[in-house]
Structure 1
């Protein structure tokens, strides 16, 4: 099977990192690549006598295509200019893709609010897996870290994480967290122990499922109390990839991505793959506008 990958470029260092990540991926995955540039509705393309000049968007596409073909001769590569609001255009491109890859200039949790918004919006609504690549990405041999909880979306994310780890010949760590109750400080010790034991069994069951499917894969487990996002980010230091599921709930019920995937993307310990909830599209957060990124 050939994986259909779409990578977004704008000529900047973040999109260069995204292209390099895709090139690195070709070492373990057979893929066909579409390099896209999203042109905003207010951007004017040359017409008339100037129409034979290449636009900055075309320059970015051509430079990326040249880089890919030099690194991976024979790879099927196409280029596409998308018109429309950037996040809508990329979400639409994702409809024909297995993987949508976006670079981000986010360099700190604070900077993430300003520079990571496009990635947050796309990951929140994309119907395919979205991989967000930090601008400072470099190839590594770290393990794949999967954030997991006992629900179908997390199971899909774990399946993807295990396949990625197996293909890259690295290990996978499954991170699961638990909380006793909203007033956990007053929760009886016996109940806390029971909750810990139950969650430990659930995590062990998830690990066993992966080990059965991938007998040669090194699988480790990490069970922590408290915030899932904090536990995932801490575990992912030095990781080659972080995989989380998106359980987006809309603006009223919570973050448009779900709080865990949202917070992991704002802290970017490594490339982050967001696996969508397959049964329904996710509503984008209405108060985040294109001007925000």
Structure 2
């Protein structure tokens, strides 16, 4: 059975990737779907000086839950089982790491996302993911 990773950020592009993953799972006769949202870490010393690690982690979790909402709604509506994850780190590298950790044999991702929030822009994150993994990556426009 195929294992598919779908990085999401709540954008229309990532929603189209989720729909493509649902379709692919059906065509494969079933698949294990993992959705992940990745937030780059806040590295500013000023922010860390005024906010505790716990407050920053709460922020990452809140933002992650919001980014996952539309993808989870699409998957629930389609009746597809999935796992979800909120991760913090360099976006492309973290996507590659999650794919490896989950034993994924395919990544389906959008080409453009919400910009500065997640960095999903073709030429940056998508291209970097392509260079970091040795599994197929389907880019959904």
Same-fold status (TM-score > 0.5): yes
2:31 equivalent to 1:170:
yes
Distance 2:135 2:7 in 1: 13
Superposed, 1:82-161 pairs within 5 Å as: 141-161=1-21
The 1:228–1:166 alpha-carbon spacing in structure 2 relative to 1, beyond 3 Å, is: farther
Residue aligning to 2:82: 219
Higher helix share: 2
The 1:240–1:179 alpha-carbon spacing in structure 2 relative to 1, beyond 3 Å, is: closer
Moved over 6 A (4+): none
2:78 equivalent to 1:179:
no
Query: Any conservation in 2 of the 1:246–1:257 contact (CA below 8 Å)?
Result: yes
**What is the CA distance between 1:207 and its match in structure 2?**
4.4
Query: Any conservation in 2 of the 1:176–1:223 contact (CA below 8 Å)?
Result: yes
TM-score by length of 1: 0.39
The 1:192–1:236 alpha-carbon spacing in structure 2 relative to 1, beyond 3 Å, is: same
Structure showing greater relative contact order (alpha-carbon pairs closer than 8 Å, 6 or more residues apart) = 2
Provide structure 1 residue ranges, at least 5 long, that are not aligned to the other structure: 1-140, 249-253, 277-293
Query: Any conservation in 2 of the 1:207–1:221 contact (CA below 8 Å)?
Result: no
Distance 1:227 1:206 in 2: 23
2:82 equivalent to 1:229:
no
TM-score by length of 2: 0.76
Query: Any conservation in 1 of the 2:8–2:37 contact (CA below 8 Å)?
Result: yes
Distance 2:108 2:91 in 1: 13
Residue aligning to 1:79: none
Secondary structure in structure 2 of the residue aligned to 1:181: coil
The 1:235–1:181 alpha-carbon spacing in structure 2 relative to 1, beyond 3 Å, is: closer
The 1:152–1:275 alpha-carbon spacing in structure 2 relative to 1, beyond 3 Å, is: same
User: How many aligned positions are there?
Assistant: 130
Provide structure 2 residue ranges, at least 5 long, that are not aligned to the other structure: 114-118
Q: Deviations over 1:190-231 (max 9, x none)?
A: 54134223223224423431332321x221112111122112
Secondary structure in structure 2 of the residue aligned to 1:174: strand
Secondary structure in structure 1 of the residue aligned to 2:85: strand
Larger Rg: 1
**What is the CA distance between 1:181 and its match in structure 2?**
2.9
The 1:165–1:153 alpha-carbon spacing in structure 2 relative to 1, beyond 3 Å, is: same
